[in-house]
Amino acid sequence: ALEPLSVGLAIGVASALTGYLSHPRFYCSYVECCPTAGQRLNATALKVQLDTKLFGQHLAKDVVLKAVMGFSNNPSPKKPLTLSLHGWAGTGKNFLSQILAEHVHPAGLRSKFVHLFLATLHFPHQDQVTVYKEQLQNWIRGNVSACPHSVFIFDEMDKMHPGLMDAIKPFLDYYEQVDGVSYRKAIFIFLSNAGGDLINKAALDFWTSGRHREEIQLKDLEPMLSVGIFNNKNS
């Protein structure tokens, strides 16, 4: 038979070891965990990455950096962060979204908290829109319930059925909760080729007038881009 003192000591050691192994700091060093409420993005590191890796996109870099850091530093945002990146293929939309995802979740696109949707791959059949809407809403709801800081990237938005955008919209608005779930700390990124021709025309106009590309400001693009995309029947 074991001495009472020995039994007590064994139970104490086992309890302490179990507590240590289950501590979030230890556990999350081996298993990916959702960021805690107090965690903030490293603004300096994000800026350095954008400065050194993203070329020719001064507007996207400045606007996105400001929006992301403002959102991250707000302990109680009123709505999710929603970014819509436009331009022709090869301009860096996917690249920028990957950089952002990696700063929220270090594993980036490999993270279980980062979700990438391709319109032509995940929603290929127009006659299945009703099914897609229900599946998409359930997927978003389930993943935000598991991690409020989930990141959702929707590529090929110009090829996505309008009904799917309607399905996403309730999660993007100024609601404290939707069906008992708060989406205010999630990030939604939409990538689209729509408006790329308008952006290129504006850049060409600047070049022909002898002005530098870096002189283009958001106010030079945003009004015509909004109207052009709104009036695009395929967008």
Asked whether residue 14 is domain-assigned, the answer is no
Query: Would residue 20 count as lying in a domain?
Result: no
Please indicate, yes or no, if residue 23 is contained in any of the structural domains. Answer: no
> Using one digit for the tens of pLDDT, what is the confidence trace for 5-39?
565 566 666 665 565 555 556 667 778 999 887 77
Domain count, the chain: 1
For residue 25, tell me if it sits in a domain. no
The reply to whether 15 falls in a domain is no
- What is the C-alpha separation between 235 and 177, in angstroms, rounded? 29
Res. 158: pLDDT tops 80: yes
pLDDT of residue 2: 47
Taking only the tens place, the pLDDT of each residue in 45-87 is 899 999 999 988 999 999 999 999 899 888 889 999 999 999 9
Q: What percent of the chain has pLDDT over 90?
A: 55
The CATH number for 191's domain is: 3.40.50.300
Domain span at 193: 43-232
Task: State residue 89 phi and psi, 5-degree precision.
Answer: -60, 140
Written as six digits, the tokens of 174 are 């100024």
Burial of residue 29, with CB atoms counted within 10 A of its CB: 0-12 exposed, 13-18 middle, 19 or more buried: exposed
